[in-house]
Amino acid sequence: MNKALGLLLIGSLALASCSQEAQTTMKSKTIVMQGLEAMDNQEYDRLSEFFAEDFKRHCQATPDVEVKSLDEMIAFVKTWYEAFPDMKAQYHNVIAEGDLVAVYASFVGTHQAPMGDIPATGKTMDSETFAIFRVENGKIVESWVTWDNLAVMKQLGLMPPAPGETSGEI
List the CATH number of the domain containing 37. 3.10.450.50
Task: Report, as an integer, the average pLDDT of 59-69.
Answer: 89
Please give the residue that has the higher pLDDT: either 48 or 165.
48
Find the DSSP H helices in the chain.
3-40, 70-83, 149-155
Q: Are 149 and 59 in contact (CB under 8 A)?
A: no
The reported pLDDT for the residue numbered 99 is 95
Q: Measured between alpha carbons, how far is 147 from 87 in angstroms, rounded to an integer?
A: 16
Report yes or no on 160 lying in a domain: no
The reported pLDDT for the residue numbered 16 is 55
Quote the pTM value: 0.82
Domain with 11 in it? 3-155
Q: Are 135 and 28 in contact (CB under 8 A)?
A: yes
Q: Measured between alpha carbons, how far is 154 from 63 in angstroms, rounded to an integer?
A: 19
Report yes or no on 35 lying in a domain: yes
Report yes or no on 61 lying in a domain: yes
pLDDT tens, residue by residue, 28-62: 999 999 999 999 999 999 999 999 999 999 998 88
What's the number of domains the chain is made of?
Answer: 1
Report yes or no on 102 lying in a domain: yes
The reported pLDDT for the residue numbered 106 is 96
The reported pLDDT for the residue numbered 160 is 80
Q: Are 100 and 134 in contact (CB under 8 A)?
A: yes
pLDDT tens, residue by residue, 114-145: 988 889 999 999 999 999 999 999 999 999 99
Please give the residue that has the higher pLDDT: either 95 or 12.
95
